[in-house]
């Protein structure tokens, strides 16, 4: 059964770069018609799509975050990663990785448990 797990620092200083990795187990990240995405949720607020990547490397980003976001994939490690630069307190959130597989809109059907990232000095 496919599982996703986020990993990375739980605390990042303002102006620095937030880096997270999602490890996929129970299946291959490549060779399937799936997208792999990052979604975040600030405390007490709603879900925000950050960006998605196809296993071939094609990327799609939220326009509001595009200038600060980089998503990459490492098929040899069955992982994909998120980098968010120049973070501020507004980037404090639970960050989820997920598989985009359902329907033409590639809805996220399998999610990681999420990891809390706080931005503070």
- Site residues (vs other proteins, CB under 8 A): 37, 39, 46-49, 52, 60, 62-64, 96, 100, 102-109, 111-114
CB of 43 or CB of 76, closer to other proteins: 43
Residue 114 Cβ, how far from other proteins at the closest point, in Å? 6
Residue 10 Cβ, how far from other proteins at the closest point, in Å? 16
List C-alpha distances in Å: 8 to 17, 81, 96, 109, 115. Answer: 12, 10, 12, 23, 8
Closest CA to 21 of 110, 115, 119: 115
- In the block, residue with structure tokens 């797990």: 5
Residue 93 Cβ, how far from other proteins at the closest point, in Å? 13
């Amino acid at each position: 059964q496919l599982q996703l797990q986020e990993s990375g620092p739980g605390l990042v200083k303002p102006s620095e770069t937030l880096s997270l990795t999602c490890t996929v187990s129970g299946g291959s990240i490549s060779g399937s018609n799936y997208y792999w995405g990052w979604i975040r949720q600030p405390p007490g607020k709603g879900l925000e799509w950050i960006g998605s990547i196809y296993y071939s490397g094609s990327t799609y980003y939220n326009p509001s975050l595009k200038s600060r976001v980089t998503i990459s994939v490492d098929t040899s490690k069955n992982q994909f990663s998120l980098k968010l630069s120049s973070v501020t307190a507004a980037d404090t959130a639970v960050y989820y990785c997920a598989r985009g597989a359902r329907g033409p809109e590639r809805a996220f059907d399998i999610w990681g448990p999420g990891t809390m990232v706080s931005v503070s000095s």
